[in-house]
């Protein structure tokens, strides 16, 4: 028996298939049933079709000469059927276009835990698109847009900028073609249960959620010593990552919210929200000791991302088998 998977005309592409079989006793008929579970992992074809537009797209299982429609549930479709007793399990041939999905990573942690510093190293090695909610907001502030003016009021108080501004801003950046093609590294988002829920609603889920764990006294020291190069965007620290020369040192700037007083407010906001966000991603969270030197922190993250990559290869290998 052959199976043909057709994922046409529904705004989705098939990005993976998994087939598993199990044998179960059928008490009523005193025989055996073979159950085959076929999983379809699909994603929107267009970066703009972020929500699943059609609750029952044209996804079909072709068995013998009849087509059986499948039901799409979130970004995973499951179809189960049984073979009648007395004959052996059939061989399946699954035909579909399966393309490796780019890596999707969220990095999280308290203010000044080193998210931006690690993102520089991760993007250098993995080529992911770095999307930092704080940077997007600071760009709005610098442009003196209406959103920027409103955002600055919250940022100065160390509070979260309202979802009406942040959610769409981040979602649109995630759905740009470069993020979709190269994969993304989302920094400082989501920071509340409502932001995490919005991502889930859009069907946007990371492969891994990295949590930088840093003690509070170190965080304060990192904030007050942080400096930024407006020319290159590089992050420095007067003690831990000093500028390479006097020319760079002379142009370094300090963020308006990088004072001891403001970091305490930002930390309070972080503590109020962190557990709600972690609960959404607990099955894919990797906790990293961020107290160490940046190279050692990166080594832990690199190991975690390598492991995720290997897992994905194993999973796609089981599809091809
Ligand atoms: P945002 O810009 O995201 O700030 P943050 O979360 O407070 O984080 P930081 O950027 O301060 O620190 P980081 O973890 O990137 O550390 P870094 O690598 O620079 O947000 C700012 C504001 O925007 C928020 O308060 C909020 O108002 C608003 N906002 C942002 N996202 C939002 C959202 N989703 N919803 C609503 N509002 C939002 O490192 C810090 C310093 O330490 C540097 O000097 C660095 O050189 C040094 N350093 C880093 N790692 C090490 C190390 N391992 N050893 C020694 N030094 C190190």
Least Cα distance to 75 among 39, 106, 48 occurs for: 39
The question of whether 149 is a catalytic residue gets the answer no
Chain segment 30-54, per-residue pLDDT in tens: 444 444 444 444 444 444 433 333 3
Residue 247: how many CB atoms within 10 A of its CB? 9
For the question of residue 222 being annotated catalytic, the response is no
pLDDT at position 38 is 47
pTM of the predicted structure, to 2 decimals: 0.73
User: What is the helix (H) or strand (E) element at residue 50, kind and residue range?
Assistant: none
What pLDDT, in 10s, does the model give residues 90-134? 433 333 444 578 999 999 999 999 999 999 999 999 999 999 999
DSSP state of 103: P
Please tell me whether residue 297 adopts helix, strand or coil conformation. Answer: helix
Phi, psi dihedral angles at 132 (to 5 degrees) = -110, 120
Give the model's pLDDT for residue 315: 80
* Cα distances (Å, whole numbers) of residue 198 to 36, 207, 293: 34, 17, 34
Task: Give the whole-angstrom CA distance, residue 21 versus residue 58.
Answer: 24
Please determine, for residue 77, whether its predicted confidence score (pLDDT) is greater than 80: no
Ligand 1, atom 2: nearest CA belongs to which residue? 134
pLDDT (0 to 100) of residue 312? 86
Report DSSP state, residue 284: G
Does pLDDT of 303 surpass 90?
yes
Which pLDDT does position 55 carry in this prediction?
A: 33
Closest CA to 173 of 235, 131, 139, 227: 131
Residue of the nearest CA to atom 20 in ligand 1?
Answer: 134
How much distance in Å is there from the Cα of 160 to the middle of ligand 1? 13
Pocket test for ligand 1, best of 109, 113, 114, 248 (most atoms within 8 A of CB): 114
- For the residues 251-258, what does the mean pLDDT come to? 95
Q: Is 297's C-beta closer than 6 angstroms to any atom of ligand 1?
A: yes
Question: Which protein residue has the closest C-alpha to ligand 1 atom 34?
Answer: 189
Ligand 1 contacts CB of residue 148 (under 6 A): no
In this predicted structure, the answer to whether residue 151 has a pLDDT above a threshold of 50 is: yes
CA of residue 191 to ligand 1 center, whole Å? 12
**84: exposed, middle or buried (Cβ count in 10 Å: 0-12, 13-18, 19+):** exposed
Supply the pLDDT for residue 316: 73
Question: Could you give the CA distance from residue 184 to residue 178 in angstroms, rounded to a whole number?
Answer: 9
């Amino acid at each position: 028996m052959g199976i043909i998977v057709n994922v046409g005309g529904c705004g989705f592409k098939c990005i993976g298939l998994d087939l598993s079989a199990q044998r179960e006793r059928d008490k009523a008929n005193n025989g055996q049933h073979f159950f085959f579970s076929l999983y379809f992992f699909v994603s929107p074809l267009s970066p703009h079709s972020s929500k699943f537009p059609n609750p029952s797209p044209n996804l079909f299982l072709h068995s013998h000469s009849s087509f059986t429609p499948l039901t799409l549930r979130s970004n995973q479709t499951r179809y189960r059927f049984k073979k009648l007793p007395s004959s052996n399990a059939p061989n399946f041939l699954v035909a579909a276009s399966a393309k490796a999905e780019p890596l999707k990573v969220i990095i999280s942690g308290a203010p000044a835990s080193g998210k931006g510093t690690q993102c520089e190293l991760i993007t250098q090695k993995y080529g992911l698109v770095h999307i930092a909610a704080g940077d997007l907001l600071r760009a709005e502030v610098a442009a003196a847009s209406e959103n920027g003016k409103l955002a600055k009021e919250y940022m100065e108080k160390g509070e979260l900028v309202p979802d009406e501004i942040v959610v769409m801003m981040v979602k649109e950046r995630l759905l740009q073609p470069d993020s979709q093609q190269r994969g993304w590294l989302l920094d400082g988002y989501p920071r509340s249960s409502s932001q995490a829920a919005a991502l889930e609603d859009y069907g946007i889920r990371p492969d891994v959620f990295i949590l930088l764990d840093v003690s509070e006294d170190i965080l304060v020291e990192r904030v007050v010593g942080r400096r930024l190069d407006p020319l290159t965007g590089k992050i420095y620290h007067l003690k831990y990552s000093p500028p390479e020369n006097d020319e760079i040192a002379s142009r370094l700037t300090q963020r308006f919210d990088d004072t001891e007083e403001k970091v305490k407010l930002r930390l309070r906001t972080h503590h109020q929200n962190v557990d709600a966000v972690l609960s959404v991603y607990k099955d894919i969270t990797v906790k990293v000791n961020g107290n160490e030197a940046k190279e050692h922190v990166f080594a832990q993250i690199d190991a975690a991302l390598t492991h995720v990559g290997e897992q994905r290869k194993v999973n796609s290998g089981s599809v091809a088998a």
